[in-house]
Amino acid sequence: MIGMLINEKEVKEIQYLIKREMDEILFDLKDERIDHIVKRAMEERYKILFTLFKRVASPNECLKYMRKKEKKVNKI
């Protein structure tokens, strides 16, 4: 485990950077032109960023960036 000491200004900057990156990923995930394999990689990156975000953001702020689980439909 690695620990960091950061002040409030640095926390705000980290939150801003992570939010900006997550917003960009969410926007790109809606783009139909992007291949599903690329989207899967983007979703993995989003999960990692969200995990980091949960460490520095308030629960209310985290709720705004929680993704809904998509139901997979089995096609027969």
pLDDT tens, N- to C-terminus, the chain (76 residues) = 788 889 999 999 999 999 999 999 999 999 999 999 999 999 999 999 999 999 999 999 999 999 887 655 555 5
Q: Which positions ≥6 away from 61 have C-beta within 8 Å? A: 15, 53
* Three-state DSSP state, 57: coil
Residue whose token pair is 């939010």: 19
Q: Concatenate the DSSP letters of all residues of 1-19 into one string.
A: -------HHHHHHHHHHHH
CA 15 from chain center: how many Å? 11
pTM: 0.82
Q: Where are the domains of the chain?
A: 16-64
